[in-house]
Structure 1
Amino acid sequence: MEIQHIILRHVKMDLLQPFTTSLGTEYDKEFILVEIQSKTGISGWAESVASPDPLYKEETIKTNWHIMEEFLIPLLFKQPIGHPDEVSERFSHIRGNYMAKSALEGAIWDLYAKERGIPLARALGGTKEKIDVGISIGIQESVDQLLKVIERYVQEGYKRIKVKIQPGWDVDVIREVRKHFPHIPLMADANSAYTLRDADHLMALDEFNLTMIEQPLSHDDIIDHAELQAKLKTPICLDESIHSVEDVRKAIKLGSCKVINIKIGRVGGLTEAKKIHDLCQAHGIPVWCGGMLESGVGRAHNIAITTLPNFILPGDTAASSRYWQQDIIDPEVTVDNGVITVPDAPGIGYEPNRDRIRERTLYSKLYKM
């Protein structure tokens, strides 16, 4: 693949309703949309999941733009790319900045699949034609409101319900959810809101038969999680702590978790996500794909990676209509009774709508060799 040009766009989309976690409340979604066009005239698309503020991780939209512009894009222009796996190798001497790397690498993967006339899922080695998906529900104003929201999504057929928790909104809330929905697959996501001092309190969650509790302790920890997992019957799932296959190897060796959440942006791209998938599969650790309030472009990448066989648990890739009045892809991502049919068109399988993208773009810049 020989790159003709790269376009970065700072895009802003309004969420249908606020989304609240222990980290804060989001009312809209700002992100960098990446378009890489080859000399064949075909474009590959991806997005950075970095936010304006360094809350989930240290990366932000501004730092991503800087790293892409000053360091990563020049490396892509250095010489033609034979296979997308080469991109992570080319970026390897640049420390961290996983979301910036992932956005550019993802566009290369989409371009690669399109130039070969195959779906991105197949290019990655995926085999599923349909994937099960769940829903992630933010912290609500009241338990009654939470129960109403859950009821709606249970009726829509989502295969798993994820409820955000934080100190003061946890055990009693989950108890009420279980009372009203005794049989649904249910998990709790703490977004690093607790410490080991809360171990006895978190053990109270064991009675509710949760599929997992996600990232209860510090965002960069695998040591304390191992101690907590030894006390809990509920499987711990690591999210923020995992950036690479090497992190996963250490977490497995320490017994820090029984499940891994793979977010493409957090681990630096699809190539690293595949490596993590393969290692977890070899050790009997199920994985699932987490969401970052992506637009349809990022959502399409999540769908593609979820077609790999060890993505056993339903991910967070809900329908476009869950978040947006109108998405920036055609057709939008739809969910039928908790199932997404994997598109069979080349690349990500959805067409970015340039008019809607233009309407939502705050700033853009084109880069040429």
Structure 2
Amino acid sequence: MRIQKAVLHRTSMKLVSPFATSYGAYHDRESIIVELYDEDGRTGWGEVVAFSQPWYTEETVQTAWHMLMDFLVPAVLASEISHPNEVPKLFAGIKRNNMAKAGLEGAVWDLYAQRTEQSLARALGGRINEIEVGVVIGLDTLPNMLQKMEQYAADGYKRFKVKIKPENDYELLSGIRKVFPDIPLMADANSAYTLDDIEKLKRLDECNLMMIEQPLADNDFMDHAVLQKELHTPVCLDESIHSLEDARVAIQLGSCRIVNIKAGRVGGLTEAIRIHDYCQAHHVPVWCGGMIETGISRGQNVALASLPNFTIPGDISASSRHWERDLITPEVTLQNGKVKVQNGIGLGYKVDRSYLKRITLQTSILT
């Protein structure tokens, strides 16, 4: 397979409601949509899920655009590709920039699945026909969060993740537990704590959480190991895991009991599969995280989450959770708290080109 042309679309979509974390609130979502054409005229789609600001990782939409234009896309255009798992090797001399790499590799996976006449899920090794999904509730007042959770529970979501920060974590989570004593509940700290907060974190054991996601800094494998020994609640690592090697180190040190896999964060679907397989071999459950992405990346997440060790409902909410109108048709919908895995050829969703044109801020074509 040779890639004949790449089209990059820098887009902006307004969120249905602001999304708040310990770093701030976001009202709009910029992304980069990657469109690749092979020699037979097929089109593959990918998405770069970096944010406009470097709060989650060091990458931003602007830095990813630069990396794609000047390094990554030229490397793909110059190569013959037999299988998508060869793409990471093309990028071996380029450090990090995982989200830019993943957006491009995802489009290659879509093309590969089309060329081999199978669904993306089957191409990745998935065998599940539908997956249970969870939802994220951004920081807000407790009454507002409870109101949203009541609606999401009625919608059928199987797991609830709330953002927390040290100022009001126990009050927030205990308040939720008073109203929802039995729902599968987890907390996401986005690295807002240090080991100085260990007593505060230990108190959260009372809240019967599924896990605490990324309580400490992303490079604190040793500190997370110390913390996990003190907690009954499982620690889940997110921002710390950028590669299979990171997952290996975390598991061997005892830094966590659960791993969150995001294809964008780890450099693409190929590395995500490798991490999944390693965790499965070491009896560490995984789940698929979300990045407030469009339906292109959401569709890829559905396919990825069909692999067997994704035993915890992921952040693969319905399109309507974030968008009045998604970029794909049909949109991702829930049925009894589950999303069906697409069995059509390739991604299984069509990109709405008219809407893509409407939300595009900048376009570049490379051949």
Instruction: Tell me the SS of whatever aligns to 2:263.
Output: coil
| Alpha-carbon distance in structure 2 between the residues aligned to 1:146 and 1:235 | 23
1:101 is displaced (CA, Å) by 0.5
Paired residue for 1:192? 191
Instruction: Tell me the SS of whatever aligns to 2:54.
Output: coil
Paired residue for 2:234? 235
Paired residue for 2:110? 110
Paired residue for 2:23? 23
One-letter identity of the residue aligned with 1:300: G
Paired residue for 1:48? 48
Residue correspondence of structure 1 range 334-353 to structure 2 within 5 A = 334-353=333-352
Is residue 75 from structure 1 mapped to residue 60 from structure 2 by the alignment?
no
| Alpha-carbon distance in structure 1 between the residues aligned to 2:74 and 2:228 | 44
Cα displacement string for residues 130-150 of structure 1 (whole angstroms, at most 9, x for unaligned residues) = 00000000001x211111111
Paired residue for 1:206? 205
1:220 is displaced (CA, Å) by 2.3
Cα displacement string for residues 255-310 of structure 1 (whole angstroms, at most 9, x for unaligned residues) = 00000000110000000000000000000000000000000001001001000000
Paired residue for 2:249? 250
| Alpha-carbon distance in structure 2 between the residues aligned to 1:354 and 1:77 | 23
Q: Structure 1 length normalisation: TM-score? A: 0.99
| Alpha-carbon distance in structure 1 between the residues aligned to 2:316 and 2:92 | 29
Paired residue for 1:6? 6
One-letter identity of the residue aligned with 2:11: V
1:73 is displaced (CA, Å) by 1.1
One-letter identity of the residue aligned with 2:289: G
Residue correspondence of structure 1 range 263-342 to structure 2 within 5 A = 263-342=262-341
Instruction: Extract unaligned runs of 5+ from structure 1.
Output: none
| Alpha-carbon distance in structure 1 between the residues aligned to 2:334 and 2:134 | 10
Paired residue for 1:128? 128
1:318 is displaced (CA, Å) by 0.3
| Alpha-carbon distance in structure 2 between the residues aligned to 1:50 and 1:176 | 33
| Alpha-carbon distance in structure 2 between the residues aligned to 1:304 and 1:169 | 36
1:347 is displaced (CA, Å) by 1.0
Overall identity of the aligned pairs, in %: 52
1:219 is displaced (CA, Å) by 2.2
One-letter identity of the residue aligned with 2:314: G
1:161 is displaced (CA, Å) by 0.5
> In the comparison of the two structures, how many residue pairs are matched?
367
| Alpha-carbon distance in structure 1 between the residues aligned to 2:184 and 2:156 | 12
| Alpha-carbon distance in structure 1 between the residues aligned to 2:145 and 2:136 | 12
Cα displacement string for residues 330-359 of structure 1 (whole angstroms, at most 9, x for unaligned residues) = 100001121001111111110001000000
The two structures, once aligned, show a CA RMSD in angstroms of: 0.7
Cα displacement string for residues 2-43 of structure 1 (whole angstroms, at most 9, x for unaligned residues) = 111000000000001100000111101001000001011111
One-letter identity of the residue aligned with 2:304: I
Instruction: Tell me the SS of whatever aligns to 2:266.
Output: coil
| Alpha-carbon distance in structure 2 between the residues aligned to 1:56 and 1:209 | 27
Instruction: Tell me the SS of whatever aligns to 1:266.
Output: helix
Paired residue for 1:171? 170
One-letter identity of the residue aligned with 2:290: G
Paired residue for 2:362? 363
1:208 is displaced (CA, Å) by 1.6
Instruction: Tell me the SS of whatever aligns to 1:187.
Output: strand
Please list every run of at least 4 consecutive aligned residues from structure 1 whose deviation after the TM superposition is greater than 2 angstroms: none
One-letter identity of the residue aligned with 1:340: V
One-letter identity of the residue aligned with 1:272: E
Instruction: Extract unaligned runs of 5+ from structure 2.
Output: none
